[in-house]
Amino acid sequence: MFYHRKDLQYNAKPDKPDPVYAKKLQEVLGGQFGEITVAMQYLFQGWNCRGNEKYRDMLLDIGTEEIAHVEMLATMIAQLVDQAPVETQEQAAKDPLVGAVMGGMNPQHVIVSGLGAQPNDSSGYPWNARYTIASGNLLADFRANLNAESQGRLQVSRLYESTTDHGVRDMLSFLIARDTMHQNQWMAAIEELEQHQSAVVPSTFPKEQEKQEVAYSFMNFSEGTESQNGRWASGESMDHMGTFSYDANPAPMGQIPSLQPAPPYVHNTPPLHAHETTGSPTHAP
């Protein structure tokens, strides 16, 4: 069960309207690594969690907090587009760079949402549930969560640097700090899971059914050999179940593909005969 409190988790009040910046801020609301994504990702991971109550509770804690961040950003965007329609758009267009790159404010903030935020990214692309990951394997999911928080914190940091509005920066400073905690949280959860199972996902797949001769071989598939100096090319493997090796010239191990001709009803191109491919005459003179 969910319920709503009127208080925001943290202040979301800009010093003054800035519809161009509101368009930018849409990225961390409805973009691939935005707050809507992590809210839905963590909640579905929690709702789908089976037999691990502390992880389920943790996921629902953080997923619910991310809904609060959605509310903060939506509230901030709505205030940034206050008094926005004509005057501020014309003012933004005076700057050639802003006019070319941003095109002024997002017109949908007026036309579609009536001076409100939207579940879209900064280009107006709608939020997509395909951004979310909830596989049922907690280690795989927590690594995806760590990536999402890393990308999200990076984007919020860039947005922080692109404004001088003290109110906006104050809110973003809070979100950056929470992303610090969330990255640490996922790293702690990953470390805990790795102590109880293999670092490789899934840990339940039988080793004897895996091609062990290539399981820990780093293959050099590009020009240059600098990659052999990495931790991944020698020494004990990270799952402590093998030894890394470096294959400087990996040889093909498969067959040359040769597919059977398609049946007539598919209407593919008929196969050429050998003498046709070599340019030999098709019949005797």
Binding residues for Ca(2+) are: 57, 61, 220, 222, 224
What are 102-152's pLDDT values in tens digits? 457 888 888 788 888 999 999 999 999 999 999 999 999 999 999 999 999
d(CA 101, CA 23): 12
Q: Of 90, 104, 83, 111, which is closest to residue 24 (Cα–Cα)? A: 104
What are 32-48's pLDDT values in tens digits? 999 999 999 999 999 99
Binding residues for Mn(2+) are: 35, 66, 69, 149, 182
DSSP E strand boundaries for the chain:
217-219, 235-236, 243-247
Return the pLDDT at 221.
Answer: 95
Please say whether the beta carbons of 36 and 29 come within 8 A: yes
Binding residues are: 35, 57, 61, 66, 69, 149, 182, 220, 222, 224
Return the pLDDT at 101.
Answer: 42
Return the pLDDT at 87.
Answer: 57
243 phi and psi, to 5 degrees? -130, 125
Token pair in block for residue 249: 């010239």
Could you tell me the pTM of the whole model?
A: 0.86
Going from N- to C-terminal start, the domains of the chain cover 19-196, 207-247
- Counting as low any pLDDT under 50, the low residues of the chain are 97-98, 100-102
Pick 19-196's CATH classification: 3.40.50.720, 1.10.1380.10, 3.40.50.300, 1.20.1260.10.
Answer: 1.20.1260.10
